[in-house]
Amino acid sequence: MLAYAKALLALPAWFRVWFKQFLAFVGIRGPQQLALGVLKGSYDTLLLVLLGTGFVAGGRFVMDSQYALPSSIQTTALKWAPIADRIARNADIPREVPLVLWFKENSMLSTNPENCTGIIGAYDLVRTGELPCFTPGPISDLEVAEQLAIAASEFKKRCPDISYYTQNPEEIKGCYFAYNAGMGAAARLDADQSAYVMNNFDKAHTNMVYSDVELGTVVVQQLGAWPAHLAMQSLVVSQIDVGGEERPLTIAIIDLSNRIYDWTSSTLTNLSSTVLGVDSDMLFPTTRSVDDETCIGKPHTLGNPTLRPRLNPVTFAPILTQDVHGCSYSLPGLDISSDDSTAILQAPMPGEVTTFTDRWYNTTIRIENEEWIVWLLHPRSYLVESGPVKRGQAVGVMGAVGYATGPHVHYTIYDKTNKTFVDPQGFLP
């Protein structure tokens, strides 16, 4: 107490008066109560940090022990986690399910098998003629996303009571069993005895026997759907990268904040669409601000038409949120959002792609060919590495990373022939 008094007397008189008034205003009756408050706040903060690190450590323990996934599967799962989450939310099923179904049916390969059932094992849908044969061979990222959406929809049909927030193990196991064996079998039999669902869950569920019309009777080595579900869940929580490197904690925090923002944005969008009838078309204002942007020029009209940007980078329900702007920071373009805050971004043209974070911390996808350069800013994740891309190839997931107030893409086009930035409106379908 004496030390506190000496320290207080050493301060300027005006500060001592302000400090005493401040303590009275916030209801603190003395230095002891202030010290206790600081200690309690520090303790609460420590508990919060330990809780977060506990989640990460727990996820790593699961990944490194019985439910370990191969590094190639981990890489693919992390790449597709945001898209799988969007698909799961749209179908109202747990977010891990699309990844687990892809893992179980085709080991997360982007190649349709020879039996026409696609990467999602759609035996019944193909046999009944509800779906055509999935052409065997390699498929694009957009085709992968389409098939995962089909699988999610079928999963929901066979298990209508499940939701995005379901965590009940027995319910989730029963739903995986229904997806694999049908609703009738799932109603009669025990999912705990299914090799498809439970193999390698524990010692009692090891090397289980599986019978299938395509494979016959086999001894299963791969993880069952339920332990794979747990592995995917812990992988997303821990955000492990292959190669021994770990993602910084900031990435996990960004991922969590994006999920919160996505949920809030989606809820508000759905509410406004229901109440106000919001139009999701790509509409431009009748009076535009292009003339005010002095760095915008005229695009060349000749050249190779196959190199020209011709697609909207936002693949689902694009919405113009801000007309041309950005000459002040040498990257003029349009801001395009979507009804879906995690919409897939596609390459508007063919070219060589690079991904990086600029000096304003904006994540960036840059595509260049002989005549044009395009930039797509703020993606929450990349779906490509450096190298060639085709027009229409999935390159990222829309986000709000960097200098952004919400999920959107800032779309910029540069004409290398005329050496000028151009208005992207003229390049939209």
Q: pLDDT at residue 260 above 60? A: no
Residue 340 domain-assigned (yes or no)? yes
Q: If you count them, how many residues does the chain have?
A: 429
Residue 214 corresponds to which amino acid?
E
Same domain, 117 and 243: yes
Q: What is the pLDDT of residue 292?
A: 73
Segment (H or E) for 157: helix 141-158
Judge whether 209 and 195 are in contact, CB under 8 Å: yes
What's the rounded Cα separation, in Å, for the pair 372 and 351?
9
Same domain, 388 and 294: yes
Q: What is the pLDDT of residue 281?
A: 56
Q: What is the pLDDT of residue 6?
A: 56
Q: pLDDT at residue 3 above 50? A: yes
- Other CB atoms within 10 Å distance of the CB of residue 397: 25
Count structural domains, the chain.
2
Residue 8 domain-assigned (yes or no)? no
Same domain, 417 and 325: yes
Q: pLDDT at residue 352 above 90? A: yes
Judge whether 312 and 336 are in contact, CB under 8 Å: yes
Same domain, 238 and 309: no
Closest CA to 320 of 269, 281, 289: 281
Residue 150 domain-assigned (yes or no)? yes
Residue 166 domain-assigned (yes or no)? yes
State mean pLDDT over 243-249: 41
Same domain, 222 and 345: no
CATH number at residue 415: 2.70.70.10
Tokens for 30? Answer: 């003395």
Residue 263 domain-assigned (yes or no)? no
- What are the pLDDT digits (tens) for 169-192? 899 999 999 998 888 888 888 988
Same domain, 226 and 360: no
Same domain, 221 and 337: no
Query: Which residue, chain included where needed, has tokens 């812990």?
Result: 234
Last residue of a domain, one of 193, 222, 247: 247
Mean pLDDT of the chain: 78
The range of the structural domain enclosing residue 157 comes to: 66-247
What's the rounded Cα separation, in Å, for the pair 142 and 316?
12
Query: Which residue, chain included where needed, has tokens 């986690």?
Result: 81
What's the rounded Cα separation, in Å, for the pair 247 and 117?
36
- What are the pLDDT digits (tens) for 100-110? 999 998 999 99
Q: What is the pLDDT of residue 140?
A: 87
> Comparing 66 with 382, which gets the higher pLDDT?
382
Among the ranges given (30-34, 330-334, 361-365), the one the predictor scored with the smallest mean pLDDT: 30-34
Residue 222, Cβ density class (10 Å: 0-12 exposed, 13-18 middle, ≥19 buried): middle
> Comparing 208 with 6, which gets the higher pLDDT?
208
User: Confidence band (pLDDT; 50, 70, 90) for 285?
Assistant: confident
Q: pLDDT at residue 253 above 70? A: no
Burial string for 120-139 (b: 16+ CB within 10 Å, else e) reads bbbbebbeeeebeebeeeeb
Which residues on adjacent β-strands are paired with residue 394?
346
Residue 224 domain-assigned (yes or no)? yes
> Comparing 128 with 156, which gets the higher pLDDT?
156
Q: Work out whether strand 394-397 and strand 344-346 pair parallel, antiparallel, or are unpaired.
A: antiparallel
- How many alpha carbons fall within 13 Å on the CB side of residue 270? 9
What's the rounded Cα separation, in Å, for the pair 422 and 134?
40
Same domain, 235 and 370: no
What's the rounded Cα separation, in Å, for the pair 352 and 241?
25
Same domain, 209 and 305: no
Q: What is the pLDDT of residue 28?
A: 53
What is the DSSP-derived secondary structure letter of residue 166? -
Q: What is the pLDDT of residue 148?
A: 94
Same domain, 314 and 235: no
Q: What percent of the chain has pLDDT over 70?
A: 72
What's the rounded Cα separation, in Å, for the pair 209 and 219?
5
- What are the pLDDT digits (tens) for 339-351? 888 888 999 999 9
Residue 57 domain-assigned (yes or no)? no
Segment (H or E) for 366: strand 363-368
Residue 131 domain-assigned (yes or no)? yes
Last residue of a domain, one of 247, 280, 311: 247
Last residue of a domain, one of 190, 218, 247: 247
Backbone angles phi, psi at 384, to 5 degrees: -135, 160
User: Confidence band (pLDDT; 50, 70, 90) for 299?
Assistant: very high
- Other CB atoms within 10 Å distance of the CB of residue 75: 16
Same domain, 297 and 156: no
Residue 385, Cβ density class (10 Å: 0-12 exposed, 13-18 middle, ≥19 buried): exposed
CATH number at residue 110: 1.10.530
Tokens for 96? Answer: 């891990």
Same domain, 177 and 240: yes
Q: What is the pLDDT of residue 251?
A: 45
- The span from the first CA to the last CA of the chain, in angstroms, equals 74
User: Confidence band (pLDDT; 50, 70, 90) for 243?
Assistant: very low
Query: Which residue, chain included where needed, has tokens 């190199």?
Result: 307
